Chain A
Amino acid sequence: MNVMMTLLQKEWLEGWRSGKLIWLPIAMMIVGLTQPLTIYYMPEIIAHGGNLPDGMKISFTMPSGSEVMVSTLSQFNTLGMALIIFSVMGSVANERNQGVTALIMSRPVTAAQYILNKWITQSMIGIASFAAGYGLAYYYVRILFEHASFSRFAASLGLYSLWMMFIVTAGLAGSTMFRSLGAAAAAGIGLTAAVSFAVSLFPDGAKWLPAELCKQAEHILLHGERADFFGWSLTFSILCIMLLAVFSVWRFRRYESY
């Protein structure tokens, strides 16, 4: 326990000193902010485009609050995903490249403790940043659009947080696999994209993949109720995340040199 606490404290301190605890939430808040604002000002944006023929008018129906929230979530799934992977990609690889890992592992620290601690901290930072961004988006949707239900927001926030955790875990797995930061980020983004793609390609066969969580979140936002196979995909998504984390520990343990 002592070792875990020490490692956790170090991660927090590093988060502050490296500025990650500041830039990641801010970046996520910008991602969350832009989508409601863009949709709200869409008529003006189009008018300023200036390339419409004279006399042409565009009728623009304001989307519902829930629809804006859904499109915000899809922003988090692209830009937000990349931001999270970038924030995690160096967590193991950098320390290995610098050589600090050797100093840590020559002490009574196990691979599981080392990876688990990174996983917990990075997940917390990632989820908190996402929540800040998504919360801000919700705030603006309420101001600019119709009233959006808080319980739907909270449920989708919870589901998407789990998906963010999967992204963090994928990034961490990439970082334990490769020494090069580029390769680590590519592996993380590739895995996440592949999982998302599989879910949209095989809507029936891939209900157990974590990306199904996004669909569930969208369904709750739009319809206010759980889609089919809710418990099923929740359980298996958590299992997938755990398996990926265990894979990182296994990979770390098999290092030929730190």
Chain B
Amino acid sequence: MLSIESLCKSYRHHQAVRNVSFQVMENECVALLGPNGAGKTTTLQMLSGLLSPTSGTVKLYGEKKADRSMIGYLPQYPAFYSWMTANEFLTFAGRLSGLSKKKCQEKIGEMLEFVGLQDAANKRIGGYSGGMKQRLGLAQALLHKPKLLILDEPVSALDPSGRIEVLDMMRELKKHMAVLFSTHVLHDAEQVCDQVVIMKSGEISWKGALQQLKEQHQTNVFTLTVKEKLKGWLEEKPYISDVVYMNPSQAVFELSDTGSGRILLSDCIQMGLTVTRFEQKTESLEDVYLKVVHA
């Protein structure tokens, strides 16, 4: 539904976004990852129509001039009129998006309940906490039932419980709309998204399914621990290389392929060794991310 082709944004002295292309499918959740200053916010602002790209195209449903009522946008630091109540602000936002008065009232009730603000609906926004403002920001982005929801760092400013709640909400939203969000917290991306786009200094350094990213960076490094001694026996096996002994009965090594793991185990049994631990060293998403970003 959303396709981005060779998007560029340059300011006088530097190029904030260089040649970014990716696609978002219907009801898909895509995370935009990357260190601070990678150009995530700039990209999202161009997608939401707040910033015009220097070159490149953004097409929503094949249309170059996107209908803004199909997009919901939550900026990194959502700001509101502090003299309005949540109810008033949502009415204002909903009416601007073209909802009728009656429809607006209906939706507001629904949204306030969804984000858990129904008790504070008639309080001035000036007295809201950061977390409440973030929720209100989410509510205003969702009010007009957009087809594409763009969230800029939706969870970075929240405490752990708020974070879990918002992630739960995003999981729920994924059923009805495409969600594109930026974050630098990998753990959050891992929990909700299908696809990741990793950006580094304005460029895409990796994109694809999260699972694929992990597999790509999977290595055949294993750890084996036995009760007896391993030293002097293990390094002679033809399918094993780079053995490092942590202690005589524990070793870290590389297998030529995953199949040889079975041969190794049966060899262990033949030798009468008691295996207490045998595991593949999986890299955490964090390690993979660091590898991609520092590649």
Interface string of A87-125 (1 = CB under 8 A from B): 000000000001110111111110000000000000000
In the bound complex, residues from chain B placing their C-beta under 8 Å from that of A103 are: 73, 75, 78-80, 93, 140
Taking A13-B88, A105-B50, A107-B69 as contacts, is the C-beta distance between A99 and B77 under 8 angstroms? yes
When C-beta atoms are compared, the residue in chain A nearest to B77 turns out to be: A99
Bound complex: CA of A17 vs CA of B77, how far in Å? 24
Q: How far is the CA of A99 from the CA of B82 in the complex (A)?
A: 12
Instruction: Flag whether A146 is at the interface (Cβ < 8 A).
Output: no
Interface assignment of B83: CB less than 8 Å from any CB of chain A: yes
B97 lies within 8 A of chain A by Cβ: yes
User: How many A residues are at the interface, by size bracket?
Assistant: 20 to 34
Q: Which residues of A contact B51 (CB under 8 A)?
A: 256-257
Among A6, A18, A258: residue with most chain B CB under 10 A: A6
Say whether B35 faces chain A, with CB atoms less than 8 Å apart.
no
A22 at the interface (CB under 8 A from B): no
Question: Which residues in window 88-124 of B have CB below 8 A to A?
Answer: 88, 92-93, 95-98
Q: Considering the chains assembled together, what is the distance between the CA atoms of A18 and B84 in angstroms?
A: 11
Query: Separation in Å of the A1 CB from the closest CB of chain B?
Result: 11
Q: Are B79 and A99 neighbours in the complex by a CB distance under 8 Å?
A: yes
How far is B67's CA from A109's CA once the two chains are assembled, in angstroms?
11
Query: Could you tell me if A99 and B78 are in contact, using CB atoms closer than 8 angstroms?
Result: yes
Minimum CB–CB distance for B224 against chain A, Å: 56
Query: Would you give the shortest CB distance from A107 to chain B, in whole angstroms?
Result: 4
A-side contacts of B84, CB under 8 Å: 13, 17
Q: Of B67, B69, B96, B98, which one neighbours A104 at CB under 8 angstroms?
A: B96
Closest to B137 in A: A103
A18 to B124, CA, bound (A): 13
Q: Indicate if the CB atoms of A108 and B97 lie closer than 8 Å.
A: yes
Task: Say whether A225 faces chain B, with CB atoms less than 8 Å apart.
Answer: no
Q: A9-B92, A13-B84, A99-B79 are in contact. List 14 more A-B contacts (CB 8 A).
A: A6-B95, A17-B84, A98-B79, A100-B81, A103-B73, A103-B78, A103-B140, A104-B96, A105-B50, A106-B49, A106-B50, A107-B69, A257-B51, A258-B50
Residues of B at the A interface (CB closer than 8 Å) are 11, 45, 48-51, 67-69, 71, 73, 75, 77-81, 83-84, 88, 92-93, 95-98, 140
Residues of A whose CB lies within 8 Å of any CB of B are 2-3, 5-7, 9-10, 13-14, 17-18, 98-100, 102-109, 256-258
12 A-B pairs (CB sep. < 8 Å): A2-B95, A3-B95, A100-B81, A103-B140, A105-B49, A105-B50, A106-B73, A107-B97, A108-B68, A109-B96, A256-B11, A257-B50
